[in-house]
A and B are shown apart, each in its own frame.
Chain A
Amino acid sequence: SQKIEQNSEALNIQEGKTATLTCNYTNYSPAYLQWYRQDPGRGPVFLLLIRENEKEKRKERLKVTFDTTLKQSLFHITASQPADSATYLCALGDSNYQLIWGAGTKLIIKP
């Protein structure tokens, strides 16, 4: 069955450093991959989308890579700030525009 894995343990990063989150998947060939941010008690907020034929996407301090051979996406936040602390979710989409969601990784940026 299709499976998406994100680090279940919280990731602690010092302010100013680059935070890197991982999203791995198996038994799936997504057409695209999305990353969302979720704050406690709130709905997820869309950040970035990357397609299967794209290697890298950037938006301000955010960078996403997508390796369909490794079946992995990396999500980077450069010059991290305490305000970046949140849970980050990855989601894979197919040609039917349905998403499969990872459980998310909690990111903590320490001042």
Chain B
Amino acid sequence: SQTIHQWPATLVQPVGSPLSLECTVEGTSNPNLYWYRQAAGRGLQLLFYSVGIGQISSEVPQNLSASRPQDRQFILSSKKLLLSDSGFYLCAWSVVQASNYGYTFGSGTRLTVV
């Protein structure tokens, strides 16, 4: 069965420090991968998505970057965190070019920048 792993669950980082969040998917090949951020009471904001290794599309210009070094690995990074980067970060995957199934989300990372 397909599973998605996202870690860490919570993270407190000082302003100006780097960030690396990792997401891995098991049980499927060539998935679409997504990074979302969710602010309290707001809808999910798509940050990045990837349709294949090394292929990254950015939806929102910001202080973050993403990479997909392997088919089932998606990494969210920042060189210097800002206070505004605080939030709930979610990784998700979906079947390539098929709308019959929803997205499968990881359990999320609560990032607090202090």
Contacts and interface: CB of A to CB of B under 8 A. Distances in A.
B99 A46 contact: no
A49 B43 contact: no
Contacts of B100: 49
Given A32-B99, A97-B32, A4 B105 contact: no
Contacts, number: 54
B97 to A, nearest CB: 6
Interface stretch (A11-19, A35-43, A58-66): A35-43
A69 interface: no
A78 B43 CA distance: 25
Interface string B30-60: 0010000000011110100100000000000
A104 B88 CA distance: 15
Contacts of A4: 43
A36 B102 contact: yes
A93 B94 CA distance: 13
Contacts of A32: 99
Interface residues of B, number: 24
B36 to A, nearest CB: 8
Which has the most chain A C-beta neighbours within 10 Å: B46, B102, B103, B106? Answer: B102
Interface residues of A, number: 26
A100 B102 CA distance: 13
A22 B113 CA distance: 35
Contact of A104 (B43, B99, B102): B43
B43 A41 contact: no
Given A34-B102, A49-B101, A97-B99, A43 B107 contact: yes
Overall SS of chain A's interface? strand
A1 interface: no
Which has the most chain A C-beta neighbours within 10 Å: B103, B107, B108? Answer: B103
Given A41-B108, A41-B110, A97-B32, A46 B102 contact: yes
Interface in B66-114: 90, 92, 94, 97-108, 110
Interface of B: 6, 32, 41-44, 46, 49, 90, 92, 94, 97-108, 110
